[in-house]
Amino acid sequence: MNMPAMNIPARQTAVNGLAMVGFVALIATGMWLAVYSAQYIPSVVGRVGTAAVYLSSFFVPSSEEASLSVVPTASTTIPFGDTGAIATSTMSTSSTSIMPTTPVVTPAKPTTTVPGKTSTSTLQISGVSVTPGVPALPDLKTTITAVGYLATSSAESFVASSTVPTGDRPAIRFTIKNIGTKATDTWRFSASIPTQNSYVYASPDQQSLAPGDSIDYALGFDSATAGSNKIISVTADFENLITESDEHNNAASTTITILGS
């Protein structure tokens, strides 16, 4: 059976209406995606694009030569030389007999044993004081030596200044030294810097420091937040992976003024 001709225009109108609704929905969805991108994507990119850090380091070995001081007593011999020879001295006496004499026998005095006294000593070796009986431990100490800025993108272009000019990168110089009595093995440090995203820089593994060794660093960064008394702090072994004789001298902080527009 053929449908009435009058139903064809109504059907076409319905199809056109549905197509229009779909088109409008598509346009609305595209506009919503554009607004979402404008509002949220830049902030995500900002969090991902953290500040660049510029770092240089200079290893300073312990400059003090090994020394060992021993004060001999009457019953002490001191080995020396490569062959382990022992220095000794012999004193000889001679007497001339003028006439024979009758030997005089003196009764032996009773001997008493005097107990020895317990004593401790400190030996100076490689500039490190080692006390017998005390376990040897490393001790990392952080010292900030200067604040300033980088004249270029190289950390070696450090310029000491309490104020960072507009457009330049704030920077600090600091030293981490092992003032303990044992090598550290590998370790890391962190630096909290006043960037727009409050960034904390974590260093890669640093070389082991023997007692007395130190490393001088220069660290700069960009994307800084302008203002006065901005805090920069550095912490050696921030993960607390090294057992140290003193855990309270690992961190140091300072303030700096950063100019901006």
Assign 4 a pLDDT band (cuts: 50, 70, 90). Answer: low
Give dist(CA 237, CA 41) in Å, integer: 35
Does 81 have pLDDT greater than 70? Answer: no
Q: 51-62+132-258: which CATH number, 3.40.50.1000, 2.60.40.10, 3.60.21.10, 3.10.150.10?
A: 2.60.40.10
Does 29 have pLDDT greater than 60? Answer: yes
- Calculate mean pLDDT across residues 33-45: 46
Domain boundaries, the chain: 13-49, 51-62+132-258
| pLDDT tens, position by position, 101-156 | 555 555 656 556 555 555 444 444 455 566 666 789 999 999 999 999 999 989 99
In 3D space, the residue among 155, 225, 198 whose CA is nearest the CA of residue 50 turns out to be 198
The residue with greater pLDDT, 84 or 36, is: 36
Assign 197 a pLDDT band (cuts: 50, 70, 90). Answer: confident
In 3D space, the residue among 233, 232, 144, 250 whose CA is nearest the CA of residue 187 turns out to be 250
pLDDT attached to residue 144: 98
Does 192 have pLDDT greater than 90? Answer: yes
Strand 214-221, strand 79-80: pairing: unpaired
- With a CB cutoff of 8 Å and minimum separation 6, the contacts of 141 are 176, 177, 178, 179, 236, 246, 249, 250
pTM: 0.59
- At position 53, the amino acid (one-letter code) is V
